[in-house]
Amino acid sequence: MSNFVSAAELNELLKSETPVRVIDVRWRLDRPDGRADYLSAHIPGSVFVPLATELATHGEPSEGRHPLPSTRTLQEAARRWGVNQGDVVVAYDDAKGVSASRAWWLLRQGGVDVRVLDGGIRAWTDAGFPVAGDDVQAEPGDVVLDEIGGDAISIDEAASFADTGVLLDVRASDRYRGEHEPLDPVAGHIPGALNVPMAAHLDAEGRILDTHTLQATFAAVGVTEGTPVAAYCGSGITAAHTALVLDEIGIEAKVFPGSWSQWSNTPGRPVAVGDQPG
């Protein structure tokens, strides 16, 4: 079964007898609080999810910008969204699936049947389906989550991961090369990491590419079925999208949630620059 649903599939799912909870995870680096966008137009019945407080927690700079929430925090949040045991959860955003994939990555670890709306809110509106402007407050759910964190790697594991597997840096290529760093104190990448930007997996409309193309992209950097692979980005959000895409083609991947924001704020960690792993 696919991790993605199309707008038409979601519309049919909502009309079926299947218990579905839709969550709006609008968040972008240039607009971290997506509530205003949610209130302007969202999928009817969807609940707004503030990524920074429910899909992440706050910590010291040495922990990265978006440390993982505790299982308890995530469970309390999911219950606030109205998620009950056995529900299907569909996450969407307006950022090509980047923030919705963070919800997918965390909830899947918690044992939830979760999907991502391919193409996000734009795909929904382009299909002509209705939107709403209310602030949905769901009846509290009763979901019980499994312990999360097993699909994450630590900073020390990230440091040595390329020795036995493939470590993917999924940021834009200029950030990987160290030519541009808008957010963190040091520019460059983790030595040994290979660059496969998240955008390589999407078409112009922000929808996932076909399986053959995805397989070829990853095979070009040595990632095939059975390859140990982990991904990192700036702060652990975009890397979850790469984990989602890899899972879609049958490849299990870990995520380094601290990502470059943790690595670059930790004294003594080596830095590589240029277009080679280093």
Active site residues: 233
The type of residue at 177 is R
Q: How many Cα atoms are found within 13 Å in the side-chain-facing hemisphere of 243?
A: 29
User: What is the C-alpha separation between 6 and 8, in angstroms, rounded?
Assistant: 5
Distances (CA, A) of 212 to 12, 22, 117, 166, 242: 27, 29, 21, 20, 16
Ordered DSSP codes for 21-46: EEEE---BTTB---HHHHHHSB-TT-
Distance CA 262, CA 66 (A): 9
Q: In what order do the strands lie in the sheet with 20-24?
A: 4-5, 113-117, 88-92, 20-24, 47-48
Q: Mark 25-46 as b/e (b = at least 16 C-beta within 10 Å).
A: bbbbeeeeebeebbeeebbeeb
